[in-house]
Amino acid sequence: MKTMKNPLFGRMASALMLLSAMPALAQLKLPAPSPAAKVSQEVGVSEISVEYSSPAVKGRKIWGELVPNDAAWRSGANAATKITFSHPVTFGGKAVPAGSYAIVSLPSQKGWKVMLNTDLGLWRGGTSYDASKDVATVSATTTAIPARERLTYLFTDTTDTGTRLDLEWEKLRVSVPITVDTAALSKANIEQAEKSMASMHTSAASYLAGTAKDPAAALKHADAAVAANPTWYAHWTRANILAQTGKYAEARKAAQTAWDLGQKDKNFYARDEVSQALTEWKNKK
């Protein structure tokens, strides 16, 4: 007896086979014509990074043809190249705030210009370059180099206070110097660390005085907190510990300092407590 074929069943089976193959096709990984790349560099206490797509020469004439002269260029392939500064920098002599920017280049036989633009969506969905969104426009140095097949960004001549951003492709290097005020940033970091240490000392003093009932150890931490960051709260914490040990004259002096400093702080939430303590401790010795 012959088996009858069901055309509908055959079509359904074929469809199921196609659907089952789709996830594998969706995961297919092939080389990108312009692969994504990222380079980063620490400069002192700052970090600078560049994210870009790296096209190849592939036997083409690059400068003046594939990349026209005197026209805004995305400084790479695909979406605009992005540079990110963790702290403020000086880019080619121009002050630039911390943040991320699109790198826009203007190639020219008369001399290159490089711009940093706040529009990170440039060249996506037809978005065009708007010079009014530039935060810096600087002159770049160009140098002839040995042939480089793929466009590459490099950080060179890096020191504690600066680096040089190089774009290399075909037989050309385009360079812009970047400097960072590492001394000022380091000083700010030290001050912040001191404030954090003062906060830890204050917390330790409060715990030792209240929960651990060890006023002698608490006073050492309170003194350290005042030395690191003499806020009204540090002085007020110290005042309470001194009062706890019966040293009311010193406690009142510390409370008065807390009161004076608190007048300049809109978050002087212990105003009433300090005021009351100044009154109560006035006649105690």
Every domain of the chain and the residues it spans = 36-179, 183-281
Q: What is the pLDDT of residue 104?
A: 98
Band (189; pLDDT cuts 50, 70, 90): very high
Residue 133 backbone phi and psi in degrees, to 5: -95, 5
Q: What is the pLDDT of residue 196?
A: 94
Quote the pTM value: 0.79
Band (177; pLDDT cuts 50, 70, 90): very high
- Name 259's Cβ contacts closer than 8 Å, sequence gap at least 6: 232, 274, 275, 278
Q: Does the structure show a pLDDT above 80 at 204?
A: yes
Q: What is the pLDDT of residue 226?
A: 96
Helix boundaries (H) for the chain:
7-26, 182-210, 215-228, 232-244, 248-262, 271-280
183-281: CATH architecture: Alpha Horseshoe (1.25)
Q: What is the pLDDT of residue 26?
A: 65
Instruction: Give the torsion through C-alpha atoms of 86, 183, 158, 73, to 10 deg.
Output: 40
Q: How far is it, in rounded angstroms, from Cα 169 to Cα 58?
A: 12
Q: What is the pLDDT of residue 76?
A: 96
Band (17; pLDDT cuts 50, 70, 90): low
Q: How far is it, in rounded angstroms, from Cα 20 to Cα 42?
A: 47
Give the CB-side neighbour count of residue 220, counting CA atoms within 13 A.
4
Q: Does the structure show a pLDDT above 60 at 212?
A: yes
Q: How far is it, in rounded angstroms, from Cα 251 to Cα 243?
A: 5
Q: What is the pLDDT of residue 18?
A: 57
Instruction: Give the torsion through C-alpha atoms of 270, 276, 280, 282, to 10 deg.
Output: 80
Q: How far is it, in rounded angstroms, from Cα 106 to Cα 104?
A: 7
Q: How far is CA 262 from CA 153, 239, 255, 269, 275, in A?
A: 52, 14, 10, 9, 11
- Name 105's Cβ contacts closer than 8 Å, sequence gap at least 6: 72, 73, 74, 75, 112, 113, 114, 115, 140, 167, 174
Can you give the length of the chain in residues?
285
Mean pLDDT, residues 71-96: 97
Mean pLDDT, residues 234-243: 96
Q: What is the pLDDT of residue 22?
A: 56
> pLDDT of 116-164, one tens digit each?
999 999 998 778 999 999 999 999 999 999 999 999 999 999 999 999 9
Q: What is the pLDDT of residue 167?
A: 98
Highest mean pLDDT among 28-32, 147-151, 193-197: 147-151
Band (8; pLDDT cuts 50, 70, 90): low
Instruction: Give me the sign of the Cα torsion angle 152, 153, 158, 164.
Output: positive
Quick one: which of 117, 142, 130 has its CA closest to 63? 142
